[in-house]
Chains A and B, each alone.
Chain A
């Protein structure tokens, strides 16, 4: 069996939501068994991002003021947005925008590993979807850095995966959201 076939995500945890006026923010915390320097590289380097992130970058996100094109992976129509890195303090804080989502990453050294926190704003009805998607991305990231990669799982590919649907339902329940509106064909095909 490949690492990917063996993979089953753990239970939904480490996610919070915050509401500020009409703006919802999803806050995700994950402890990784890897140093902040290693995690920083995975968050900023295009070759690393390609292995785990829900977007591709055409340049490094590691320098303030750089303009980078982000391509959403697996979107049902091409979706490219331009971002400017507004904060990059290696290996601690990284800020940029992904379309109309503000992305703030914080890395704290924790033993030999890293406590990684992501703040991202998100439409209310997509909060559980986002939490489930990032949960799997962080699993993929952790395994990538451990040298046992399972391959990126985003977009329709993630949705078709049974673990995503379970996580989606669990996060929706945790956040007290109504029954999540399942994505279309992809979910029905599995």
Chain B
């Protein structure tokens, strides 16, 4: 038996994911019935029953998104604990590269969270109307999310069962290190240029949100996320580790850095999540959700402040930059 599967964290994680998938399957069966028989104009007992069953689907998905929001950082924490038994790994960065399923899994997890968030917002809008105008589109959207969540579950199983603890993996200094010109920044940027673009893209995002340029703000947030990722790994991260050569997105999730990585990546993911959600609601459904509006500028701001704070505090303590 693969020893990785005996690790407490992996067992707890896979148990939670399996139970959620069981619920999801139930939701899928309900959704098929709803799509086949739904007719809001009908005054039949069957239609009233279908309306109550739609609440089951909604309850399952709302429960799912709350648990998955907790399971994502727990997944990352699990990767970190596995670095003790996977040879060569010093943090989650090495563990995620233990096989070819790791990176796709992380990407699919992020996408499904965004999609679930959009579904929940759409559902709230649908309930507010008196005739369920978005019911069919919402249910078909769920079917698409179900397919993606099935892929995610399959990747979960494949990933954890295929980690070979006898095969050493590369550590973050090789994956992200820039010694000898390795892992160069995109577009051959240097650090200063990257920082400039990071802050400029943040300002641009704010301007686009405040001036209600909805579609453009989507490009704005994706651009911001792109530069933010590289800035955190290749600049801000070094101030978290207080070591100019330590470039890794995972190590900051560990206890000796006070788990600040969860806050950093959580704020960035949250910023993308909220902005994509807001844009989809406004473009496709012409609805403006106040909470999303507020969070769409607040989360990026907190993220930028947190990252900049590390640099500022380092400078104040030491009088120099790294």
Is chain B found bound to chain A in the same assembly?
A: no
Interface residues in chain A, defined as those with a beta carbon under 8 Å from any beta carbon in chain B: none
Interface residues in chain B, defined as those with a beta carbon under 8 Å from any beta carbon in chain A: none
